[in-house]
């Protein structure tokens, strides 16, 4: 048996998942789960990075208290966010949350200095207003003291690994999301750093998923009363880990990592950097086993999560299964939103914003809770169809269906409606995709699996996959045409 630990940090919660490999079969057990709540201080929105580190230590303690002998661990998280380590080795300040408003207008401002086509040609990354490059640009424009005092740039998993091991490394899959990494040269882009006046010395060596990133340092071992274990750099962008866990049977496959964000695309050997990829605003993020993830970010279940929070503030508390049940009873195709409209990016009163969007597009706004939820889920499914077809066009492939992984697959209505929308099979599972991908990269590094395809075969044999076949094709095709017309969503 090979017991290892994956820490999987999402935008709203984190978990420590124990992985056990027995006779080629994967077993997982959740040892620890915790909330990940951003903290508003004045006008700034921060991540509570020290709380996350505390929870990681609690996960290690729970393994110890259960008598589990761990062989290694890895950490994955969301992308783009970062912190600075000072010359004295201490973290300077709390990392900003990517939804903080300090980047408003930064992307457009930077484009006046560096044209978008230059940035894309050098990085292959989708243009999103919270990308690391625009966060750093905003800090420079604001003359932030972080940039004066900072000595090393580390992303969220890099920081937490540093706290554990005392070693500072950057990791490939997360580094590519910064829009500062050159996939052709395989390192940080020196020309963009020069144009932004960012010191190259801030950006360290880049480890590939599966490389050892250190071991738990003596001070942490003494504090927790645990032995030292290796800490591996997994695919530390959680989507990279989720794609590693896609139980595909052939090299050509489409995936949807479904959670707070929805990320849809395919796996490619080399980044796709031509003009069509730029026009369609696709991205090329680092993956496992020398691959890239050609994909597009979609706003995802964030909109529903924010609606639920707003209803809770108003004293109406619903579970997600209750919301799905209410949606199933509401009228179909009554109203549509473009989930990627900038209106839905910041936190806040999402039901009012949905009503505002509908009014702006000449639609009757949904009123009941069920109508609002149905509007969100149908719009997501139809958006998935658009991106699915664009992925086929851009990659030059035709996919037999769609693999859905992540916590969002517990929403069976969304899975079925996605199959209806794309008119092809949906294979849903596993739900803990990011954590399982984290685990299998560690096992590959440890020689327990020969490669990612052997690991994917083990995932298929270890976890249930639910198949959804398309239904009501005529109605969904008609709805798709209306969705495109009403939202104005085009290439």
Write the pLDDT tens digit of every residue in 30-79.
Answer: 999 999 999 999 999 999 999 999 999 999 999 999 999 999 999 999 99
Residues of the chain with pLDDT > 70, as a percent, come to 100
Q: How confident is the model at residue 490 (pLDDT cuts 50, 70, 90)?
A: confident
In angstroms, the CA 363 to CA 352 distance is 14
Report the helix count and the strand count for the chain, using DSSP H and E.
19, 22
Q: What number is the average pLDDT over the span 429-442? A: 96
Residue 247 pLDDT: 97
Q: What's the pLDDT at 491? A: 67
User: What's the pLDDT at 12?
Assistant: 87
pLDDT, tens only, 140-197:
999 999 999 999 999 999 999 999 999 999 999 999 999 999 999 999 999 999 999 9
pLDDT interval class at 1 (50, 70, 90): low
- Domain boundaries defined on the chain: 2-238, 246-429+450-491
pLDDT of residue 435: 97
User: DSSP letter at 98?
Assistant: T
Question: What mean pLDDT, rounded, does the chain reach?
Answer: 97
Q: With respect to CATH, is domain 2-238 assigned 3.30.420.40?
A: yes
The C-alpha atoms of residue 165 and residue 203 are separated, in whole angstroms, by 18
Find the DSSP H helices in 315-472. Answer: 320-328, 350-360, 369-395, 412-422, 433-445, 452-462
**Would the CA dihedral through 347, 352, 358, 359 be positive or negative?**
negative
Annotated catalytic, 189? no
Q: Do domains 2-238 and 246-429+450-491 have the same CATH topology?
A: yes
- Render pLDDT for 203-255 as a digit per residue (tens, 0 to 9): 999 999 999 999 999 999 999 999 999 999 999 999 999 999 999 999 999 99
* pLDDT greater than 90 at residue 5: yes
For the structural domain made of 246-429+450-491, what CATH number should be given? Answer: 3.30.420.40
**Could you tell me whether strands 73-76 and 230-233 are parallel, antiparallel, or unpaired per DSSP bridges?**
parallel
Reported pTM: 0.94
Beta strand 181-182 with 187-188: parallel, antiparallel or unpaired?
Answer: antiparallel
Identify the active-site residue in 238, 275, 349, 451.
238
- What is the C-alpha separation between 319 and 249, in angstroms, rounded? 35
pLDDT at 411 over 80: yes
Q: Which residues pair with 181 in a beta bridge?
A: 188
User: Above 70 in pLDDT, residue 265?
Assistant: yes
């Amino acid at each position: 048996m090979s017991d290892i630990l994956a820490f999987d940090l999402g935008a709203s919660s984190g978990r420590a998942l124990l992985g056990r490999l027995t006779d080629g079969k994967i077993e997982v057990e959740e040892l620890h789960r915790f909330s990940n709540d951003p903290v508003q201080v004045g006008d700034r929105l921060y991540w509570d990075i020290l709380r996350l580190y505390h929870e990681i230590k609690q996960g290690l303690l729970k393994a110890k208290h259960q008598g589990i002998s761990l062989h290694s661990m890895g950490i994955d998280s969301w992308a783009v966010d970062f912190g600075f380590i000072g010359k004295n080795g201490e973290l300077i300040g709390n990392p900003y949350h990517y939804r903080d408003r300090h980047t408003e207008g930064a992307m457009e401002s930077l484009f006046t200095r560096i044209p978008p086509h230059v940035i894309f040609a050098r990085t292959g990354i989708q243009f999103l207003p919270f990308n690391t490059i625009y966060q750093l640009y905003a800090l420079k424009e604001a003359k932030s003291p972080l940039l004066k005092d900072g000595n090393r740039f580390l992303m969220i998993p890099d920081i937490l690994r540093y706290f554990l091991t005392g070693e500072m490394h950057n990791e490939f899959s997360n580094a590519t999301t910064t829009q500062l990494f050159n996939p052709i040269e395989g390192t940080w882009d020196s020309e963009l750093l020069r144009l932004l006046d960012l010191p190259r010395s801030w950006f360290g060596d880049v480890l590939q998923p599966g490389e050892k990133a250190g071991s738990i340092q003596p001070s942490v071992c003494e504090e927790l009363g645990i032995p030292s274990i290796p800490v591996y750099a997994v695919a530390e962008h959680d989507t990279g880990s989720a794609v590693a866990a896609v139980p595909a049977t052939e090299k050509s496959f489409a995936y949807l990592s479904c959670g707070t964000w929805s990320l849809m695309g395919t796996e490619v050997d080399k980044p796709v950097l031509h003009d069509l990829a730029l026009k369609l605003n696709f991205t090329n993020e680092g993956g496992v086993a020398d691959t890239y993830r050609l994909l597009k970010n979609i706003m995802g279940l964030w909109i529903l999560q924010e609606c639920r929070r707003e209803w809770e503030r108003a004293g109406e508390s619903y579970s997600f299964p209750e919301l799905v049940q209410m949606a199933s009873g509401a009228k179909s195709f009554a109203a549509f939103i473009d989930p990627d409209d900038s209106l839905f990016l910041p936190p806040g009163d999402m039901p009012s914003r949905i009503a505002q969007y509908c009014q702006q597009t000449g639609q009757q706004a949904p009123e009941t809770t069920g109508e609002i939820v149905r509007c969100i889920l149908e719009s997501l499914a139809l958006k998935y169809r658009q991106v699915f077809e664009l992925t086929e066009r851009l990659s030059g492939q035709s996919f037999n269906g769609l693999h859905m992984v992540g916590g969002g697959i517990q929403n069976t209505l969304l899975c079925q409606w996605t199959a209806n929308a794309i008119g092809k099979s949906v294979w849903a599972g596993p739900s803990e995709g990011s954590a399982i991908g984290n685990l299998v990269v560690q096992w590959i590094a440890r020689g327990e699996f020969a490669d990612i395809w052997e690991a994917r075969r083990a995932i298929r044999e270890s976890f249930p996959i639910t198949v959804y076949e398309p239904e009501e094709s005529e109605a969904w095709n008609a709805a798709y045409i209306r969705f495109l017309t009403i939202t104005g969503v085009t290439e």
